[in-house]
Chain A
Amino acid sequence: RKEVEQDPGPFNVPEGATVAFNCTYSNSASQSFFWYRQDCRKEPKLLMSVYSSGNEDGRFTAQLNRASQYISLLIRDSKLSDSATYLCVVNENYGQNFVFGPGTRLSVLP
């Protein structure tokens, strides 16, 4: 079983839609969680960290469920510019071992 799993998509949604991505991780000792965004043929960039209490940044909301070992990302009012691949990243034991999921591809259609 892969350490971090994501639905690869693609998710094709119309502008203005709400879309949610889930990510599951296998190591219960994982301590830090992130969502990164990667545009086509570009480098990943941090979208947001995921905190235990959940956190929101504008149209983006991230949730963590430690008991079920999954992380979610909710995007409201999708924009064309949201089209990208979203990478779930998990860090174990506050060390250097960052484990990346394979990514979920989102296409927002006009």
Chain B
Amino acid sequence: NAGVTQTPKFQVLKTGQSMTLQCAQDMNHNSMYWYRQDPGMGLRLIYYSASEGTTDKGEVPNGYNVSRLNKREFSLRLESAAPSQTSVYFCASSVGTSGSNEQFFGPGTRLTVL
């Protein structure tokens, strides 16, 4: 099992460009998440999907959109990138909607917006 995979690993964008970060999991998990991690701050939840077909905003959703394409895949889209979106983005998944479930993280995407 690959667990949680993310592409790309690194990306440099210019302000105003758009891109989609891809995430897939092969653990048959119901819930998937997108976080961003900035220096000196904890991971912050951008969006999550409790189950296939549903998505909800997290703490910092502005400037992002998501798609739960199927049970395996959860993508994050930046429509018009801004320097403030320079960050490390982590995708995660968990078995179910219970908050007691362990989250499994992908290796991250390091995004720089110039």
Contact = CB atoms under 8 A, between A and B. Distances in A.
Contacts of A97: 45, 58, 99
Contacts of B50: 96
B43 A44 contact: yes
Contact of A42 (B35, B42, B103, B107): B107
Number of chain B interface residues as a range: 20 to 34
B74 interface: no
Say whether chain B's binding surface is mostly helix, strand, loop, or mixed: loop
A102 interface: yes
Contact of A102 (B35, B42, B99, B102): B42
Most buried by A among B44, B58, B105: B105
Interface of A: 4, 8, 31-32, 34, 42-46, 49, 87, 91-103
Given A46-B103, A49-B100, A94-B99, 4 more contacts: A42-B108, A91-B100, A97-B45, A97-B99
